[in-house]
């Protein structure tokens, strides 16, 4: 018998942690991923407070590194776990003029926002039995829908993630794999903690509220499937 789990990348802070908290409280078995070991410890402690009788697995993982992704796949197989919900949530921003782009900047932004999504999704598809239902939730940004000044690299990576998501949905049509695209607007998270900048986040959304919208839509009745979710502040 396999154990059903929800896997969340970028699950140690921000929106990912809020999603994990909701799922843990609802009784779901959760695995969170992050490249930051200290944040994982803090997140695990918070989630333990939310539901002490539903322990969370926390795995240090840079989703842009294939060797780390393979370790996650091996962990699932070894522990007879089948991913029921994959939340591709990890990402990072970079705000700079187009003339300042470098190869290193391209690699960093694309690894966090596109490459990691592709590698993690590929591994989960590989290790999830075809007879098991799998819902893949690709959390991107409204920057995957519209180009913005000072966000050329970030928008390029997010537009790539959107293209990947739509192509994935087309390829997996008719299987037991469901693809949901999520496009949230600005939230009050560490994403905006940029050295030298002091952005006013007072009008931005609370990630806890956004998490409720996403989880409620994703876990809707089996007779229906939400395919695309855009969440904007009023």
The per-residue pLDDT for range 7-46, each reduced to its tens digit, is: 999 999 999 999 999 999 999 999 999 999 999 999 999 9
Segment 199-203 shows an average pLDDT of 71
- Is 155 exposed, middle or buried, given 0-12, 13-18 or 19+ CB atoms closer than 10 A? buried
Q: Which of 106, 98, 114, 108 is nearest to 160 (CA)?
A: 114
Q: How far is CA 232 from CA 10, 141, 171, 217, in A?
A: 21, 10, 29, 15
Query: How is residue 153 written in tokens?
Result: 């690299």
CATH architecture of the domain with range 3-231: 3-Layer(aba) Sandwich (3.40)
pLDDT of 93 strictly over 60: yes
Identify which of 106-120, 189-203, 214-228 has the greatest average pLDDT.
106-120
């Amino acid at each position: 018998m396999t154990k059903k789990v929800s896997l969340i990348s970028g699950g140690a802070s921000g929106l990912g942690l809020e999603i994990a908290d909701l799922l843990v409280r609802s009784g779901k078995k959760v695995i969170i991923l992050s490249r930051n070991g200290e944040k994982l410890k803090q997140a695990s402690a918070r989630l333990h407070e939310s539901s002490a009788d539903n322990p969370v697995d926390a795995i240090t993982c840079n989703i842009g590194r294939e060797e780390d992704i393979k370790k996650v796949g091996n962990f699932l197989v070894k522990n007879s776990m089948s991913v029921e919900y994959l939340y591709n949530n990890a990402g990072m921003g970079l705000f700079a003029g187009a003339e300042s782009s470098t190869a290193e900047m391209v690699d960093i932004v694309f690894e966090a926002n596109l490459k990691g999504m592709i590698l993690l999704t590929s591994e989960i598809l590989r290790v999830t039995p075809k007879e098991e239902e799998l819902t893949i939730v690709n959390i991107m940004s409204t920057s995957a829908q519209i180009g913005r000044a000072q966000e050329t690299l970030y928008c390029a990576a997010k537009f790539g993630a959107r293209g990947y998501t739509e192509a994935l949905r087309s390829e997996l049509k008719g299987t037991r794999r469901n693809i949901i695209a999520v496009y949230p607007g600005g939230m009050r998270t560490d994403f905006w903690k940029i050295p030298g900048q002091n952005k006013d986040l007072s009008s931005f959304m609370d990630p806890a509220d956004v998490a409720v919208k996403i989880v409620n839509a994703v876990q809707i009745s089996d007779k229906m499937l939400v395919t695309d979710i855009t969440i904007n502040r009023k």
